[in-house]
Amino acid sequence: MATTKIVVVGGGAGGIGAAGAARGTDKNADVVVYTEYEDAAYSPCGIPHVHGKEIPDFQSLFLATKDSYREAGIDIHYETAVTGLDVAKKTVTVAGQGEVSWDRLVLATGFTYADPGVPGSDLEGLYYVKNIRQAMEWDKVLDTTKVAVVVEASPLGLEMVTALAHRGIETHVVDPHPWALAEATDPDIAAPVEESWAEMGVKMHFNTKLEAFVGEGGRVRAVRTDQGELPADLVVICTKKRPNTTLAAGSVKIGSTGGIIVDERMATSVPGVYAAGDCIEVPHGVSNVPIQGLSGSHAYAQGKVAGTNAAGGQRAYQPVYVPWGMVAGKWVIGGVSFGETLATALGIPYVLGQATGISRARYYPGVKKVKIKLLAEPGSLRLIGAQMVGQEGIKERADFLAMCVKTGITLRDLAFMENVYSPPIGALNEPIAVAAQNGLASLTS
């Protein structure tokens, strides 16, 4: 029987997920991965935390060795760019190798940071956090950095601001919006983060438009904004993630977000071509609106679906409800689907239930406040979104609430939910239940 040749472009979470699943589905398939990077399968998610010195070194971010992939029958070509795609001929053009044929192709080319679109973007000293080898070099630069400017309080921006401040660097954040992570979070959820940044010495410049990077001798020395100039030894660019479709554009259908359109099997508009990760768009489970640029866990799961199907298996990907969470300043923020700000922007009506509760028994040392906001559909009271800020249990609540949104749980269900009460890990009254009770009470008051 002829061997199926599956080519994967991309060695990130999406590509490695696809390659592993393809190999697992068809033991005889020829699975080849191309990546521009020196490594595959490291966790980029850990990079900000090495910069912040919470993780002692970069080595622990590597998830598997190059040998382990070889032994698993996955042939990864490192530092090898794919420069062309011909879907009619079923080939890719590989730098240094020429045309390479495929039976099935998985595009997992990931994301690039949006171009800041201002003069000086080619200066030295602008750091785009992504590649681990480059991060190792930039970490040495951080040792001598006195003042850094982070451009945009995006999810990565929140982590990098926190990391640089932990490291004792004078840190400024410039963002055109009125508060941190303004497109995703509500102002009352971001407020404690900003207070803790202020305590850590972070200088926040919200409602501030970036105008230029100012250089001297080819190196950045300042950031010009509409509110004035900020001196900078280093600038960390944390603009929005954009789908990297340079290779795919012109061959497969691209959607309204700029991501590759796929069906639930991660199949693109071209037979035999699949796509996964930050280069695609997928429908949101509540709004059905296509969204892109999700997380590493989404990219990996999508890669597994793409790889399985590319190898002849059957696997479907479900619409997403997007649980999220992160450490920001001295707090952990998180949520699922929408907060009030995003729901309002999208014209989605909601009933709000909110409460400030506690993470442990009130008498147990280390007890922390937890603020919960639940959004429910008027009438049915089905949960459609949530946002939270606290210091403990935010991730677990986000995962749980995402499942609640997915399965149609209502505020009434949550108001009378069972919960764990154990003084060191949980209070008698679960804050989610209290928020739901308050939401119900607001309907009758």
Ligand X SMILES: Cc1cc2nc3c(=O)[nH]c(=O)nc-3n(C[C@H](O)[C@H](O)[C@H](O)COP(=O)(O)OP(=O)(O)OC[C@H]3O[C@@H](n4cnc5c(N)ncnc54)[C@H](O)[C@@H]3O)c2cc1C
Round to whole Å and give the CA distance between 436 and 438.
5
Residues found in the chain = 445
Residue 215 lies near ligand X (rule: CB under 6 A): no
Residue 129 lies near ligand X (rule: CB under 6 A): yes
Residue 130 lies near ligand X (rule: CB under 6 A): yes
Alpha-helix residue ranges (DSSP H) falling in 26-147: 47-51, 66-71, 132-143
Binding mask 231-270 for ligand X (x = CB under 6 A): -------------x--x-----------------------
Closer by beta carbon to ligand X, 45 or else 191: 45
3-state secondary structure of 242: strand
Contact pick of 24, 44, 290, 313 for ligand X (by CB under 6 A)? 44
CB atoms within 10 A of CB 20: 23
Contact pick of 45, 64, 191, 403 for ligand X (by CB under 6 A)? 45
Closer by beta carbon to ligand X, 45 or else 63: 45
Contact pick of 7, 22, 109, 236 for ligand X (by CB under 6 A)? 109
Round to whole Å and give the CA distance between 252 and 283.
18
Closer by beta carbon to ligand X, 222 or else 280: 280
Q: How far apart are CB 298 and ligand X at their closest, in Å? A: 7
Closer by beta carbon to ligand X, 33 or else 210: 33
Contact pick of 7, 8, 13, 173 for ligand X (by CB under 6 A)? 13
Per CB under 6 A, which region of 39-47, 180-188, 262-270, 309-317 contacts ligand X? 39-47
Closer by beta carbon to ligand X, 215 or else 283: 283
3-state secondary structure of 42: strand
Report the site for ligand X in 295-354 (rule: CB under 6 A).
Answer: 295-297, 299
> Helix, strand, coil shares of the chain as percentages rounded to 5?
30, 30, 40
Residue 34 lies near ligand X (rule: CB under 6 A): yes
Q: How far apart are CB 104 and ligand X at their closest, in Å? A: 17
Per CB under 6 A, which region of 11-19, 169-177, 258-266, 399-407 contacts ligand X? 11-19
Residue 157 lies near ligand X (rule: CB under 6 A): no
Per CB under 6 A, which region of 40-48, 191-199, 310-318, 422-430 contacts ligand X? 40-48
Residue 395: enclosing H or E segment and its boundaries? helix 394-407
Q: What b/e sequence results for 307-336 when a residue is b if at least 16 CB atoms lie within 10 Å of its CB, and e otherwise?
A: bbbbbebebebeebbbbbbbbbbebbbbbb
Alpha-helix residue ranges (DSSP H) falling in 208-353: 296-310, 340-345
Closer by beta carbon to ligand X, 123 or else 328: 328
Residue 47 lies near ligand X (rule: CB under 6 A): yes
Q: How far apart are CB 213 and ligand X at their closest, in Å? A: 20
DSSP character at residue 252 = B
| Count of residues engaged in binding ligand X, rule: CB under 6 A | 32
Round to whole Å and give the CA distance between 394 and 386.
11
Contact pick of 37, 62, 206, 400 for ligand X (by CB under 6 A)? 37
Residue 361 and residue 423 in contact, taking contact as beta carbons nearer than 8 Å: yes
Reported as half-sphere exposure (CB side, CA atoms, 13 A), residue 292 has a value of 25
Q: How far apart are CB 82 and ligand X at their closest, in Å? A: 4
Contact pick of 6, 7, 8, 9 for ligand X (by CB under 6 A)? 9
Listed residue (288, 292, 311) closest to 106, CA to CA: 311
Q: How far apart are CB 320 and ligand X at their closest, in Å? A: 12
Contact pick of 74, 106, 108, 401 for ligand X (by CB under 6 A)? 108
Listed residue (338, 329, 327) closest to 373, CA to CA: 338
Residue 180 and residue 208 in contact, taking contact as beta carbons nearer than 8 Å: no
**Strand ranges of the sheet holding 98-101, from the earlier edge strand across to the other edge:** 82-86, 91-94, 98-101
Round to whole Å and give the CA distance between 290 and 253.
14
DSSP character at residue 267 = B
Tokens of 73: 């029958």
Per CB under 6 A, residues contacting ligand X are 9-15, 34-37, 44-45, 47-48, 81-82, 108-111, 129-130, 156, 244, 247, 277-278, 295-297, 299
